[in-house]
Amino acid sequence: MAKLREQRAGRAIPNRECKSPECSNTFHPRNRSVEYWCGKCHRDHQAVVLGMDMCANPACGKLFDKRFAFEKYCEAKCRREMEHVRLLPGMRCAWCGELFSPLKISSKFVADAMPAGHE
């Protein structure tokens, strides 16, 4: 729809030929960041430029191909685990002082947040 509106206004971005020596497909650039390469070649180039990185989850430690410069985790599961650890740090039990991880952020003394053996 936007391409048609741009064409009618006379300012449409023309289709281009991919600058990758292996490719030479024609494509329509959707935004200025991939102005000269088709989507597949752009993603391949990003993988080469960014390279491999180790997952920031210490329990995982896998090497993975980054798709974006700010990516830290190999998959969504590792990201969710680390967010859970960050949001729910260990708390001290009100009765015995033992460290435990609560199930809810708001629970300090609730029965479902008590460590095992405190029923």
The neighbour count for residue 62, using CB atoms within 10 Å, is: 13
33 CB-near residues (< 8 Å, 6+ apart): none
Q: Which pTM does this prediction carry?
A: 0.40
* pLDDT given for residue 11 in this prediction: 64
The band of 103, judged by pLDDT with boundaries at 50, 70 and 90, is low
Any bridge partners for residue 17, and if so which? Answer: 26
* pLDDT given for residue 7 in this prediction: 66
Sign of CA dihedral 4, 43, 83, 77: positive
pLDDT digits (tens, 9 = 90+) for 26-79: 877 766 556 777 878 877 877 777 778 888 887 887 888 777 777 888 888 888
Q: Do residues 54 and 63 lie in contact, with contact meaning Cβ atoms separated by under 8 Å? A: yes
Domain residue spans of the chain: 1-49, 51-87, 88-119
* pLDDT given for residue 101 in this prediction: 61
Q: Which residue has the higher pLDDT, 88 or 15?
A: 15
The band of 110, judged by pLDDT with boundaries at 50, 70 and 90, is very low
